[in-house]
Structures are given as structure tokens and as C-alpha cells.
């Protein structure tokens, strides 16, 4: 016999690391060609051969983006576990968790990104790019990377959580949205919407002498109402949230990324000089160089990343809730931005 408890099950951190690596792999496979075009436009390497060798630097990108996503998603998970005061808005919690993710991921990503950018902009192999940079060149642009990564990931995870919340509230509907909602039968009696297990279901005396008791009797006689729909995240809803988060992230962080790319490609010595160089050469519009490829890449690559994370986490959840009969005893619901998991415990037969 398997009984359910209402405790929230917190998955081990190593599962977040594995899920993050899957997200990084999916992000790279889908988004690297357009990322190559973006880097070439931002670094000023010219339009000749703009679409040739679109997977130049993919080795460095694959080697770097997987640990980057691992660190970012682990940082986001840790950030969401912080016990914030009640007065802190949930949106600020999400942004803070994203900034922690960006700080952890940026420090890891810098050397890999430096090699990738040299390989993409100079159209050379990953090994040749590493040779040209040398040991010290791998960390060129660390400051610029952190200036870009921290707010970038803050915006990404803020937009992701807000999108999930909007889907849960029904304000953001998609053709598949109906599949993401289900009735939570276990919630019966837990509140005004559930009857049959609450205080009104208790046996009442036949002689009722007070107005309060009369009210209880009237409440007990009310017809049972179904519990409100509970949002259950699906693969497609995770992809939608990830894609929207990617567009929001790059819309805000592209100017910082332009400067970072210029610094790591050797066009500027530091972030401050990079800002001055971009403005002197191209004006304000120069901070949005590569906007087209970035926007074309943002949705599918981020959607693939969050979709990959969802599939891996779903696999782990399925493995952790197999009862003696092999059936799945867990529902994964989202209320607002919080994941509620029903943990199963064996009580014997």
C-alpha cells in the first residue's frame, strides 16, 4: 500500500547538474550556426564568407556551454532555495536566482567563449584558436563576460518564471494549453473548493441551537464543487517558457554582448574601451549589431535548452516515484512559479 504525503520533495543537486548539461547540449546543437553569424557581424570580420563554416568553434562551444549550463542551472536552483523574507517579491527572487546563475556560469564560460569567438571571427579551427590565444588570452574579457552574464541570466530566469506563472494563471494560452491543466483530486477538502474532507464533512448533531451551527449545516448540505484546475508543466509549455525567456534575455543583454565580443575578439582592451569603440565606429545602433541572427536564434535555442532540461527532470521524477506495482504516483504541478511535488512513501501492504 502506498500513501501520499503533501511534503515538497526537493530533488538532489546532482540531478540539476545533469539536467543543465542536457540543456547546454540542446542549446548548442540548435543555436550554434546563428551564433557564428552573430559573432562575425559583431566582431567586424566582414560579410565575405559570412555563412561559411557555421560550425567553426563548435568544439569549444560544446566543451564550454555544457559546464556553463550546468553551473547556471545549479546556481538558479540554489538561488530558488534561498529563504527570502516574506516582503521580497517573487519576481525579485527569480531575478536574484538568475544573477547567481550568471555569476557561476560566466566564470566558467569565459575561456571557452574566448576560443569560440576567435575561431568564429577568424574562421579557424578550435585548436588553432587556442594556439593563437595562448594561456593568458583564454581569460581575456573575464570582466566583460561577467558584466554581460550576471544581468543576462537574471533577465532570462525572471522571464522564464513569469511565463510559467502566466501559463499557470491562464493569461498566456497556447493551442496545447488545455493539456497542461488537470484536476487535483488529492486537494479535496483542503480548502473552500474541496468538500468532503474538511470540517464541514464531520457528523453534526441533529439538534442545532445556534446560528453558527446552522451555518455549518447549510455548508455541509452544499453540493460538492470540483477543485480548481492545477497547472501541470508539459514539454511544449517548458519550450514556450524557455523561448520567451531567450527573447527577453537577448533583447536586454545584446548591447553588453556586443562589447564582450569585441573585447574577446581583440578589438578592444577592456569593457570601457569597448563601449567607446563601438559608439565611435557605429553610434548607438552599433550596440545592436547582429540583432537579426540573435533574435532568430534566441527562441529555438532557449526552447531546446529548457525542453531538454524538462525531459531529463521528468525522467528523474519518473524514476523516483515508481511504486511497488511500477505505477507512477507523482504529479508535478505548478502553482505560480513554485513546483509542487507529491512525495510517495511506502507504508507496507
Judged on CB neighbours under 10 Å (0-12, 13-18, 19+), 89 is exposed
Question: Is the whole-model pTM more than 0.85?
Answer: no
In CATH, the number for domain 2-183+231-346 is 1.50.40.10
Contact 145, 270 (CB under 8 A): no
Domain boundaries, the chain: 2-183+231-346, 189-221
Where residue 217 falls (left for φ over 0; alpha for ψ -120 to 50; beta otherwise) is alpha
Give a three-class secondary structure readout of the chain.
Answer: CEEECCCCCCCCHHHHHHHHHHHHHHHHHHHHHHHHHHHHHHHCCCCCCCCCCCCCCHHHHHHHHHHHHHHHHHHHHHHHCCCCCCCCCHHHHHHHHHHHHHHHHHHHHHHHHHHHHHHHHHCCCHHHHHHHHHHHHCCCCHHHHHHHHHHHHHHHHHHHHHHHHHHHHCCCCCCCHHHHEEECHHHCCCCCCCCCCCHHHCCCCCCCCCHHHHHHHHHHHCCCCCCCEEEECCHHHHHHHHHHHHHHHHHHHHHHHHHHHHHHCCCCCCHHHHHHHHHHHHCHHHHHCCHHHHHHHHHHHHHHHHHHHHHHHHHHHHHHCECCCCCECCCEEEECCEEEECCEEECCC
Q: pLDDT truncated to tens, each residue of the chain (349 aa)?
A: 433 333 445 778 788 878 888 888 888 888 878 887 777 777 666 556 566 667 776 776 777 777 887 888 888 988 988 888 888 888 999 999 999 999 999 988 899 889 888 887 888 888 898 999 988 888 888 999 999 999 999 999 999 999 998 888 876 655 444 444 443 444 444 443 344 444 343 443 444 444 445 555 555 555 555 555 555 778 999 999 999 999 999 999 999 999 999 999 888 889 999 999 999 998 999 999 888 888 888 999 999 999 999 999 999 888 664 444 444 444 444 433 443 333 333 334 4
Amino acid at each position: 500500500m502506498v500513501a501520499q504525503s503533501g511534503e515538497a520533495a526537493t530533488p538532489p543537486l546532482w540531478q540539476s547538474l545533469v539536467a543543465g548539461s542536457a540543456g547546454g547540449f540542446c542549446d548548442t546543437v540548435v543555436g550554434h550556426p546563428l551564433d557564428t553569424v552573430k559573432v562575425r557581424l559583431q566582431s567586424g570580420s566582414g560579410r565575405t564568407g559570412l555563412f561559411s563554416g557555421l560550425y567553426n568553434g563548435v568544439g569549444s562551444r560544446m566543451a564550454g556551454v555544457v559546464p556553463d549550463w550546468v553551473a547556471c542551472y545549479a546556481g538558479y536552483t540554489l538561488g530558488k532555495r534561498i529563504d527570502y523574507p516574506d516582503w521580497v517579491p517573487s519576481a525579485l527572487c527569480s531575478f536574484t536566482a538568475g544573477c547567481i546563475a550568471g555569476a557561476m556560469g560566466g566564470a566558467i564560460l569565459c575561456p571557452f567563449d574566448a576560443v569560440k569567438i576567435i575561431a568564429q571571427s577568424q574562421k579557424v579551427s578550435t585548436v588553432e584558436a587556442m594556439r593563437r590565444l595562448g594561456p593568458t588570452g583564454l581569460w581575456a574579457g573575464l570582466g566583460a563576460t561577467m558584466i554581460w552574464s550576471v544581468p543576462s541570466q537574471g533577465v532570462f530566469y525572471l522571464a522564464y518564471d513569469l511565463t510559467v506563472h502566466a501559463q499557470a494563471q491562464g493569461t498566456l494560452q497556447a493551442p496545447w494549453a488545455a493539456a497542461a491543466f488537470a484536476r487535483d483530486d488529492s486537494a479535496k477538502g483542503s480548502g473552500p473548493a474541496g468538500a468532503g474532507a474538511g470540517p464541514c464533512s464531520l457528523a453534526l448533531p441533529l439538534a442545532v441551537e445556534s446560528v453558527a451551527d446552522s451555518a455549518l449545516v447549510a455548508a455541509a448540505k452544499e453540493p460538492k464543487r470540483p477543485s480548481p484546475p492545477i497547472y501541470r508543466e508539459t514539454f511544449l509549455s517548458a519550450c514556450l517558457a524557455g523561448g520567451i525567456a531567450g527573447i527577453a534575455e537577448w533583447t536586454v543583454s545584446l548591447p553588453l554582448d556586443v562589447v564582450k565580443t569585441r573585447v574577446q575578439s581583440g578589438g578592444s582592451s577592456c569593457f570601457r574601451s569597448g563601449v567607446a569603440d563601438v559608439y565611435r565606429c557605429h553610434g548607438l545602433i552599433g550596440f545592436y549589431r547582429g540583432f537579426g541572427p540573435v533574435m532568430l536564434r534566441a527562441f529555438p535555442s532557449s526552447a531546446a535548452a529548457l525542453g531538454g532540461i524538462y525531459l531529463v527532470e521528468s525522467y528523474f521524477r519518473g524514476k523516483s516515484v515508481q511504486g511497488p506495482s511500477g505505477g507512477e504516483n507523482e504529479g508535478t504541478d505548478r502553482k505560480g512559479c513554485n513546483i509542487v511535488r507529491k512525495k510517495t512513501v511506502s507504508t507496507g501492504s
